[in-house]
């Protein structure tokens, strides 16, 4: 599951309007156990998510995702 989250993060980073990918990432993150995310923490690249915040993408969707990352 954590691998799927990493793949979606990479996909979000390369797309200009990743709304569907953001929704998928949100769903995946809700299902990933925290220990799996902690194990992959070094590989999580959150910069692209913050860049999307600056580009006026769906703020609500991005904030939900960032809140899920804050769990660990």
DSSP for 1-49, please give it: -HHHHHHHHHHHHH-SS-HHHHHHHHHHHHHS-HHHHHHTGGG---HHH
Residue 55's SS3 state is coil
pLDDT attached to residue 58:
67
Q: Is 41 exposed, middle or buried (0-12, 13-18, 19+ CB in 10 A)?
A: exposed
The model scores a pTM over 0.85: no
pLDDT attached to residue 20:
87
pLDDT in tens, the chain (72 residues): 788 988 988 888 888 778 888 889 888 888 988 888 888 878 888 888 777 777 665 677 777 777 777 765
């Amino acid at each position: 599951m954590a691998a799927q989250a990493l793949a979606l993060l990479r996909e979000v980073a390369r797309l200009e309007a990743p709304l569907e990918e953001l929704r998928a990432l949100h769903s995946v993150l809700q299902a990933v156990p925290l220990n799996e995310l902690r194990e992959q923490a070094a590989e999580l690249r959150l910069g692209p998510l913050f860049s999307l915040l600056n580009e006026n993408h769906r703020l609500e969707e991005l904030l939900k995702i960032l809140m899920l990352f804050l769990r660990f």
